[in-house]
Structure 1
Amino acid sequence: MKKDSVCCPPSLIPSRETSLFYLLGVLIALYMLAGAAVFSSLERPAELQAHQLWENRLRDFSHEHRVSCEDLKHLLSLYEEARTAGIRTKQGRALWDISGAFYFVGTVVSTIGFGMTAPSTLTGKVLLVFYGLLGCSATLLFFNLFLERVIMLLSLQICWCHRGRSRQSDTAEGRASDGNRNEECKPSVYQVTLILFVAVLLVACGAASLYSVMEGWTYFESLYFCFVAFSTVGFGDFVSGQREHHEDTWVYQVANCLLMLLGVCCTYSLFNAISVIIKQGLNWILKTLALMCQGICHFRMQFRPIFKICFSDSEPSKCCCENDNLHRQQVKTVSTSAHSMLWRSCAPSAIGKCLCKVETVCDKNHDRTKKGQDICSYKNNVVYGRPLPTWLN
């Protein structure tokens, strides 16, 4: 953008990466504001209705069983504390046996964090900080390597297809086609995004079929859980493998862990590919804005001498540019053409007044085409109504 600038000081122009950072931050903020407005309009009435329904149920229960509302709310607050330790109204599977703890650390290192299980001891909380620091870093590295493997397999598939199509033509071209062949074998970001999207869709649909059978959810609820889990959002409203009879179905537990790992890998890779496309779009926006700014500055530079000629006696002010000599030549050319247009449209037919300054001197080699009419080439491009020089009277 520094090279494309015309009238802006170089010190005030941010770099392309800085501009990209600012633009992305502004777009994310606007995206979050739009999402907040939409979800608030959708979910706020349901929240108020749920609060009203809960207050009515508490009041009815208090009157029916002759229990004060304060005592009932105190009991419910104690249950909320017990829920963190794994106490549920319906008996579920053990949370901190070997399989339950393995499920917990899987949600930690994959950054899902359902919130269904959390350490209650101080030692466990401190250990979780260091355990998650190393585990999350290693898992993110695994996800990146998984994306590299996907790109490598896709490149090999594309190379195999190109090699089968152009085997006969490459024999005549020889070594000159090796560089072009390597470029053709590289998959585009759109191809990678499409492959990963199809992979995420297949894994999510297959996992949703399994969860709808094993968890008793609807198929839509299972798809919702798959997106929340695979995208590592992890709200905790739906959690798989927490029922009591799931302790005996070890096959389902293994399948659940494998589906979680595969889904998170594919979804994380898909997010990386989409982020590259978003960055390309932001670069295109920055380039468009730079061209618009350049066009506006160039437009102002072209018409500024005309405005100065019509409204002031001073010479056109020069703009801070990287190439001053080129700018002076452009200003001089535009001023000369502007002077010619104004002279033809404003010059009187009779001699007696001149539009030149007193200091303006005509060229000695002026040509008198008609009597009473002088055509002069002026050295000064500023034209205003002044008397003729004495040697022309």
Structure 2
Amino acid sequence: MKAKVVALLCFLNLCWLLIGGGVFSALEWQHESAERVSFEDTRSRLLQNYSCLTEEEVTNFIRAIVTATNAGLTLDNSTASDTSNWDFGNSVFFSSTVISTIGYGHISPSTYGGQAFLVPYALIGIPLCGLMLNGIGENIGNFITKKKEQYKKRWSKKVSDRTAEVLVMLILFLLFLVFLVLIPSAIFLALEGWSYHISIYYSFVTLTTIGFGDYVPGQNSAQRVVYRLAILCWFMIGLSWMAVILNQVSTFLTDIGVKAQTAREERKKKKEGDVGEEGEENKAAEDEENWGSTKSAKQSNVELRNMTPIES
């Protein structure tokens, strides 16, 4: 990739980051400020209603709640005592978020042994998972390529090749949207009790490996093992399909860039060729003119030499 293209991409990414920072700041800052005011109000009322509590005791209690929440504990009397975030099923689910680089962050190892084991486990697991996803994506991509060629042949008489490629990518994206986002989101709506827009938000955040961890499925599910196994399968298929879509879009944009560069170079060569031909024509005309002038001069000299003294 040329240095100018890299510089342009860096500039566009910087602009996109600045736009994102401005928009998120405008949307979230006011909400955060309101939450801070609400928290301070609740804290003040607690100290007023329970005068036996000191400010230090309340602060320590809040810190204990934050620590427990960061450790992944569900602070609900109905579930806090009889469930664990680190039983075998949950640990497998956590491992899947590690090797797929989703990294929800709702739980994380807090012991020295767990943190130490995570490093070599991720170093081996992430490439291994990447190879698996690449294999799944390659098979999906081969199937899509065959279908693309079939559709291009079928549509070649009606639309151009580029238009056919765009239509195929749209179909690919619609299939992904329906079967891996909208339908799973409806399942999350039914089983998790989330709103539909939150379910779609969660699906997108997961399949793009952003993985905020603000919403995690299977926390209160009675059939947690089977449910999370199904989610694990959804992870792998969805991530592979997303990789195929991104690869198709990247290939399409690269082809457009290559074709534009080739057309630019052809125009430049043609222009240089036209200038060269014009220069050669001008040079030939100039040589012909010079040759004519030389010929006239020679004829004049011959006529002068042939003149008689009387004539001269």
Name the TM-score, length of structure 1 as normaliser: 0.60
Which residue of 16, 30, 33 corresponds with 1:45? Answer: 30
Return the alpha-carbon distance in structure 1 between the equivalents of residues 206 and 127 of structure 2.
Answer: 19
1:351 aligns with none
Return the alpha-carbon distance in structure 2 between the equivalents of residues 101 and 149 of structure 1.
Answer: 30
1:267 aligns with 242
Return the alpha-carbon distance in structure 2 between the equivalents of residues 217 and 132 of structure 1.
Answer: 31
Structure 1 unaligned regions, length at least 5: 1-15, 166-183, 299-321, 337-362, 368-393
1:5 aligns with none
1:153 aligns with 143
Instruction: Tell me by how many angstroms 1:50 deviates.
Output: 1.1
**Contact 2:89/2:225 (CA < 8 Å) preserved in 1?**
no
**Contact 2:181/2:200 (CA < 8 Å) preserved in 1?**
yes
1:72 aligns with 58
2:124 aligns with 134
Q: Does 1:22 align with 2:7?
A: yes
Q: Does 1:221 align with 2:198?
A: yes
Return the alpha-carbon distance in structure 1 between the equivalents of residues 106 and 17 of structure 2.
Answer: 27
**Contact 1:23/1:282 (CA < 8 Å) preserved in 2?**
no
From the superposition, tell whether residues 54 and 278 of structure 1 become closer, same or farther in structure 2 (CA, over 3 Å): farther
Q: Does 1:100 align with 2:93?
A: no
Q: Does 1:55 align with 2:40?
A: yes
Q: Does 1:83 align with 2:72?
A: no
Return the alpha-carbon distance in structure 2 between the equivalents of residues 118 and 46 of structure 1.
Answer: 27
Describe the SS at the equivalent of 2:2. Answer: helix
Return the alpha-carbon distance in structure 1 between the equivalents of residues 13 and 116 of structure 2.
Answer: 33
1:211 aligns with 188
Which residue of 77, 97, 107 corresponds with 1:117? Answer: 107
**Contact 2:71/2:110 (CA < 8 Å) preserved in 1?**
yes
Return the alpha-carbon distance in structure 1 between the equivalents of residues 153 and 258 of structure 2.
Answer: 34
Instruction: Tell me by how many angstroms 1:121 deviates.
Output: 1.2
Return the alpha-carbon distance in structure 2 between the equivalents of residues 120 and 53 of structure 1.
Answer: 31
**Contact 1:192/1:273 (CA < 8 Å) preserved in 2?**
no
Q: Equivalent pairs: percent with the same residue? A: 25
**Contact 1:86/1:117 (CA < 8 Å) preserved in 2?**
yes
1:252 aligns with 227
Return the alpha-carbon distance in structure 2 between the equivalents of residues 57 and 290 of structure 1.
Answer: 68
Instruction: Tell me by how many angstroms 1:365 deviates.
Output: 9.1
Return the alpha-carbon distance in structure 2 between the equivalents of residues 238 and 247 of structure 1.
Answer: 18
**Contact 1:189/1:276 (CA < 8 Å) preserved in 2?**
no
From the superposition, tell whether residues 31 and 46 of structure 1 become closer, same or farther in structure 2 (CA, over 3 Å): same
Q: Does 1:193 align with 2:146?
A: no
Instruction: Tell me by how many angstroms 1:154 deviates.
Output: 2.6
**RMSD over equivalenced CA pairs, Å:** 3.8
Which residue of 20, 23, 33 corresponds with 2:18? Answer: 33
Describe the SS at the equivalent of 2:108. Answer: coil
Q: What do residues 240-289 of structure 1 show as CA deviations (whole Å, max 9, x unaligned)?
A: 0011xx25454323222222222222223222323334445666787899
Return the alpha-carbon distance in structure 2 between the equivalents of residues 57 and 365 of structure 1.
Answer: 109
Q: Does 1:231 align with 2:208?
A: yes
Matched AA of 2:170 = L
Matched AA of 1:62 = L
Describe the SS at the equivalent of 1:150. Answer: helix
Q: What do residues 83-118 of structure 1 show as CA deviations (whole Å, max 9, x unaligned)?
A: 333322122542111111110011111111111111
Return the alpha-carbon distance in structure 2 between the equivalents of residues 43 and 289 of structure 1.
Answer: 45
**Contact 2:207/2:238 (CA < 8 Å) preserved in 1?**
yes
From the superposition, tell whether residues 18 and 189 of structure 1 become closer, same or farther in structure 2 (CA, over 3 Å): farther
Aligned length: 274
Return the alpha-carbon distance in structure 1 between the equivalents of residues 49 and 264 of structure 2.
Answer: 68
From the superposition, tell whether residues 69 and 283 of structure 1 become closer, same or farther in structure 2 (CA, over 3 Å): farther
**Contact 2:102/2:211 (CA < 8 Å) preserved in 1?**
yes
Q: What do residues 102-151 of structure 1 show as CA deviations (whole Å, max 9, x unaligned)?
A: 10011111111111111111121121111112211122222222222122
Structure 2 unaligned regions, length at least 5: 156-160, 287-292, 298-312
Name the TM-score, length of structure 2 as normaliser: 0.74
**Contact 2:133/2:236 (CA < 8 Å) preserved in 1?**
no
Return the alpha-carbon distance in structure 2 between the equivalents of residues 227 and 146 of structure 1.
Answer: 20
Q: What do residues 207-238 of structure 1 show as CA deviations (whole Å, max 9, x unaligned)?
A: 11111111111111111111111111111111
Return the alpha-carbon distance in structure 2 between the equivalents of residues 273 and 162 of structure 1.
Answer: 15
From the superposition, tell whether residues 48 and 152 of structure 1 become closer, same or farther in structure 2 (CA, over 3 Å): same
Higher Rg: 1
